[in-house]
């Protein structure tokens, strides 16, 4: 069938992802070809010291990105979208969304970006002999317990953003195993919550008088390919405010942005990894065996099929780079120049390649919030330079891109150095790779590993989520890694860049100066706070 027939017959597959700055909907054919997309721009806010989004914004973003995608379908194919073959929802992982028995939110949504759970994360890591990062849902819950917050006794359901949106659309309280692995440790063999650690936490809470056990308030865990409910009439009306969309289409398990990133880059088998680089940056490496010891800089999560994954997550990536690009745009406009966003980023990124490999040791810290990987509790963007080196636009832009990947590089040193984890390939996706070559080349230098970017990299996690929804319909008994290799990525264009030795040496020199300046960054952040 041609695309219009696929749309009319209701065979197209939809993926929606709630990212840090954009909610995106991507509609694909069952073979993975993008058909249409739509998005909604949003931004978190700092309220009473907590980074949050309102649930009203969540609903608005859901409807707006769908409407934008639907209008593109109507304009390009002359079809009013009424039926969808399957769909799935993903979102930023972690965070804290506790609800009572009437599904009323008990506190404002506490996102992954918050670094307010340090004591809880440390206590839980010791209790479970398992690294529990600050952004994990269980760390937020435990910190609320430690703080004596009144709402804890009333919790009847605790989930992630993806789990909440999935509930809005289906009424089902479930979660994909990858997203679940950012709430609480997972037993990959059982494909569910780690029973021994659940028992340890319940014993830890014994005597506090809470009327729930932890497992009772967590979602049901499902692997990729498992049915996770169908679109309800209420869900269809929430998604399509014009009322054209029919209910009843199946939904796959809701996933986190890490799982959709692995799917979108065909990096779900052992010895493969991917880097997602947008507002935040993280690397996922699928492990052949467990790590030798606990590292607070490395999370252990899972693929959408439950395989253990080492995750290095850094809170900030492109936010400060975007802020500086905005400043340079203002300067251009001051002189009457009009520059499109795409042209601006292309020119600025390409300028970075004219710089010396060490960026003239111009050091930039892009921390908008704390950065656990570098043991920095608070953030303050900062620029520092040597007085005996020149200040140039190419060095400035290279420093900005280096800064975007610096904390990730520090975390990856532990994985590949201390733990001797083998990585055959890294696949990149996200905004850092929209300009061809530049981000890919500098990331290869930073990690000293070949980096591949697929043609679909710009579609990102929403496309990956749509592929997981397609897998629900057409797995054919194949494991996810084989399904991706044979049915989605076979023959799909991509480019691979190996690290350049001179560039890698330049980055190492720059990173040494960056590490030496970390005490100054911590002091500035503390002073400005």
295-331 confidence digits (pLDDT tens): 988 989 999 999 999 989 898 899 999 999 999 999 9
Residue closest to 160 by CA, chosen among 221, 205, 203 = 221
pLDDT bracket for residue 11 (50, 70, 90) = very high
Question: Does the pLDDT at position 459 exceed 70?
Answer: no
The Cα–Cα gap between 474 and 103 comes to 34
pLDDT, average across residues 474-491: 88
Helices 438-447 and 393-413 meet at what angle, rounded to 10?
Answer: 40
The pLDDT of residue 457 is 53
Decide: helix, strand or coil at residue 428: strand
Q: What is the pLDDT of residue 490?
A: 85
Is the pLDDT score of 100 beyond 60? Answer: yes
The full set of domains in the chain, from first to last, is 1-88+231-240+252-265+460-498 (3.30.420), 266-456+499-529 (3.30.420.40)
Phi and psi, residue 317, nearest 5°: -130, -75
Q: What is the mean pLDDT of residues 204-219?
A: 96
Query: Residue 359: left (phi > 0), alpha (psi -120 to 50), or beta?
Result: left
What is the pLDDT, as a whole number, of residue 157? 98
Q: Is 338 exposed, middle or buried (0-12, 13-18, 19+ CB in 10 A)?
A: exposed
Listed in order, strand segments (DSSP E) in 145-271 are: 157-159, 174-176, 186-187, 192-193, 220-222, 255-256
Judge whether 166 and 229 are in contact, CB under 8 Å. Answer: yes
Question: Which of 11, 25, 463 lies closest to 266 in space, CA to CA?
Answer: 463
pLDDT of residue 280: 85
Which residues are registered as beta bridge partners of 521? none
Q: 377: closest CA among 19, 121, 183?
A: 121
Question: 121 is written with which tokens?
Answer: 């994360």
Question: How high is the pLDDT of residue 19?
Answer: 92
Closest CA to 313 of 376, 267, 380, 258: 258
> Lowest-confidence range among 24-28, 388-392, 429-433?
429-433
Of all residues in the chain, the percent with pLDDT exceeding 70 is 99
pLDDT over 90 percentage in the chain: 82
Q: What is the dihedral of CA 312, 315, 318, 320, to 10 degrees?
A: -140
Q: Which of 43-57, 269-283, 360-374, 397-411 has the lowest mean pLDDT?
A: 269-283
Q: Which residues of 381-401 are buried (b: 16+ CB within 10 A; e: fewer)?
A: bbbbbeeeeeebebbbbbbbb
Instruction: Look at strands 97-99 and 157-159 and give their pairing.
Output: antiparallel
pLDDT score for 456: 59
> Measured in whole angstroms, how far is the alpha carbon of residue 286 from the centre of its chain?
16
Alpha-helical (H) ranges within 363-459 are 393-413, 438-447
Secondary structure element (H or E) that encloses residue 284, with its range: strand 281-286
Q: Rounded mean pLDDT of the chain? A: 94
pLDDT at residue 455, rounded to an integer: 67
In the chain, what is the greatest distance between 2 CA atoms, to the nearest angstrom?
A: 68
- What is the edge-to-edge ordering of all strands in the sheet holding 34-41? 34-41, 22-28, 13-18, 86-91, 255-256
From the centroid of its chain, how far is CA 517? 28
Is residue 458 predicted with pLDDT exceeding 60?
no
Q: 148 pLDDT exceeds 80? A: yes
Per-residue pLDDT, averaged over 214-234, amounts to: 97
Number of CB atoms found within 10 A of residue 59's CB:
14
Residues 6+ apart with CB under 8 A from 182: 93, 94, 135, 136, 137, 160, 256, 258, 299, 301
β-strand partners of 364: 383
Q: Please, which residues bridge with residue 222 across strands? A: 176
Burial readout 306-335 (b: 16 or more C-beta within 10 A, e: otherwise): bbbbbbbbbbbbbbbbbebbeebbeeeeee
More reliable by pLDDT, 417 or 174: 174
d(CA 136, CA 112): 7
Over residues 187-202, the mean pLDDT reads 96
pLDDT of residue 498: 93
- Residue 193, token pair as written in the block: 């919550």
Burial class (CB within 10 angstroms; exposed 0-12, middle 13-18, buried 19+) of 92 = buried
Judge whether residue 388 has pLDDT over 80: yes
Separation of alpha carbons 448 and 195, rounded Å: 38
Q: Which helix (H) or strand (E) segment is 514 a member of?
A: helix 501-516
Please tell me what DSSP assigns to residue 374. Answer: G
pLDDT of 398 > 90? The answer is yes
């Amino acid at each position: 069938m041609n695309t219009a027939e696929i749309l009319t017959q209701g065979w197209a597959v939809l993926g929606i992802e709630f990212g840090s700055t954009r909610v995106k909907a991507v509609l694909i054919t069952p073979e993975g070809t993008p058909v249409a997309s739509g998005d909604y721009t949003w931004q978190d806010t700092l309220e009473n010291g907590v980074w949050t989004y309102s649930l009203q914004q969540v609903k608005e973003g859901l409807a707006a990105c769908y409407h934008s995608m639907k209008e593109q379908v109507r304009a390009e194919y002359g079809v009013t979208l009424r039926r969808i073959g399957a769909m799935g929802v993903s979102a930023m992982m972690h965070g804290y969304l506790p609800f009572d028995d009437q599904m009323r939110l008990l506190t404002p949504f506490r996102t992954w970006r918050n670094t307010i759970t340090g004591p809880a994360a440390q206590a839980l890591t010791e209790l479970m002999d398992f690294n529990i990062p600050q952004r994990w849902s269980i760390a937020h819950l435990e910190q609320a317990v430690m703080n004596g917050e009144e709402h804890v006794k009333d919790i009847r359901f605790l989930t992630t953003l993806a789990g909440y949106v999935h509930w809005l659309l289906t009424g089902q309280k479930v979660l994909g195993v990858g997203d679940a692995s950012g709430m609480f440790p997972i037993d990959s063999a059982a494909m569910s919550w780690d029973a021994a650690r659940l028992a340890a936490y319940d014993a830890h809470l014994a005597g506090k008088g809470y009327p729930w056990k932890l497992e009772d308030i967590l979602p049901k865990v499902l692997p990729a390919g498992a049915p996770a409910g169908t679109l309800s009439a209420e869900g269809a009306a929430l998604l399509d405010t014009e009322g054209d969309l029919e209910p009843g289409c199946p939904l796959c398990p809701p996933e986190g942005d890490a799982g959709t990133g692995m799917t979108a880059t065909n990096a779900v088998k052992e010895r493969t990894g991917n880097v997602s680089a947008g507002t935040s940056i993280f690397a996922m490496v699928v492990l052949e065996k467990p790590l030798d010891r606990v590292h607070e800089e490395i999370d252990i999560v899972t693929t959408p099929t439950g395989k253990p994954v080492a995750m290095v997550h850094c809170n900030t990536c492109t936010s400060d780079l975007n802020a500086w690009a905005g400043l340079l745009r203002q300067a251009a406009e001051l002189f009457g120049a009009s520059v499109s966003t795409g042209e601006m980023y292309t020119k600025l990124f390409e300028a970075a390649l004219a710089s010396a490999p060490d960026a003239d040791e111009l050091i930039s810290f892009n921390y908008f919030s704390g950065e656990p990987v570098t043991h920095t509790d608070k953030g303050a963007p900062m620029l520092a330079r040597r007085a005996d080196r020149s200040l140039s636009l190419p060095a400035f832009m290279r420093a900005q891109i280096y800064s975007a990947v610096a904390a990730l590089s520090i975390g990856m040193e532990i994985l590949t150095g201390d733990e001797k984890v083998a990585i055959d390939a890294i696949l990149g996706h996200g905004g850092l790779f929209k300009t061809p070559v530049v981000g890919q080349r500098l990331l290869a230098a930073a990690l000293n590993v070949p980096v591949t970017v697929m043609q679909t990299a710009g579609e990102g996690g929403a496309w990956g989520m749509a592929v997981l929804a397609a897998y629900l319909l057409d797995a054919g008994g194949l494991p996810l890694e084989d399904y991706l290799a044979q049915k989605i990525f076979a023959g799909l264009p991509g480019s691979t860049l190996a690290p350049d030795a001179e560039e890698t040496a330049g980055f190492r020199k720059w990173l040494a100066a960056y590490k030496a300046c970390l005490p100054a960054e911590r002091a500035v952040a503390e002073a400005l706070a």
